[in-house]
Amino acid sequence: MKILLAVDGSAFSKKMLAYLSTHESLLNTDNDYHIFHAQPALPQRARAAVGKDIVDKYYADESEKVLAPVSKFLLRHGINANGEWKVGHAGTTIAKIAESGKFDLVVMGSHGHGALTSLVMGSVVTEVLAHCKVPVLIVR
């Protein structure tokens, strides 16, 4: 099975990894794993003020902080996964990667906001579910 692990570096991503470690069918060397992080875009004025090279380095550094611990976790379980990040809105970017990469499953943690908070603020999980044709496993 080809599995996309959508991570954001939060405690909810850690819960998702803990869940995987207790389910052998989801965390084993027979599956093909890909770790993905959607990096939020800096405001246009900030990007213009500091320049492309600094912005690109910032994106890479921040994404590495999120991807590296997940890679280490998987390596401890004998799994070598590819990591990738893109700049963009998390929900739609995750859905696009899931479909273009022909993944069988997307696994992600959820902050578990209530209905009112999700209505006002939106939710990455809600957007992924709305835009993604790939099955999504949400861990709360």
Where residue 36 sits, what CATH number does that domain have? 3.40.50.620
Structural domains of the chain, count: 1
Q: Which of 2, 16, 8, 9 is nearest to 89 (CA)?
A: 8
Confidence at residue 136, expressed as pLDDT on a 0 to 100 scale:
96
Determine the structural domain holding residue 135 and report its residue range. Answer: 2-139
> How many angstroms separate the CA atoms of 102 and 52, rounded?
31
For residue 40, the 8-state DSSP code is P
Q: What is the pLDDT of residues 31-71, one digit of tens each?
A: 999 999 999 999 999 999 999 999 999 999 999 999 999 99
Token pair for residue 116? 């009112």
Residue type, 124: V
Q: Give the CA angle between residues 10, 16, 21 to the nearest 5°.
A: 130
Residue 7: CB atoms within 10 Å: 24
Confidence at residue 122, expressed as pLDDT on a 0 to 100 scale:
55
Confidence at residue 110, expressed as pLDDT on a 0 to 100 scale:
86
Mean per-residue pLDDT over the chain, rounded: 91
Confidence at residue 53, expressed as pLDDT on a 0 to 100 scale:
96
119 pLDDT higher than 80: no
Q: Reduce the DSSP state of residue 61 to 3 states and report it.
A: helix
81 pLDDT higher than 80: yes
117 pLDDT higher than 60: no
Tell me the β-bridge partners of 138.
Answer: 108
Residue type, 65: K
- What value does the mean pLDDT take over residues 80-109? 96
Confidence at residue 112, expressed as pLDDT on a 0 to 100 scale:
56
Confidence at residue 121, expressed as pLDDT on a 0 to 100 scale:
40
Q: Rounded to whole angstroms, what are the CA distances from 100 to 84, 94, 134?
A: 14, 10, 10
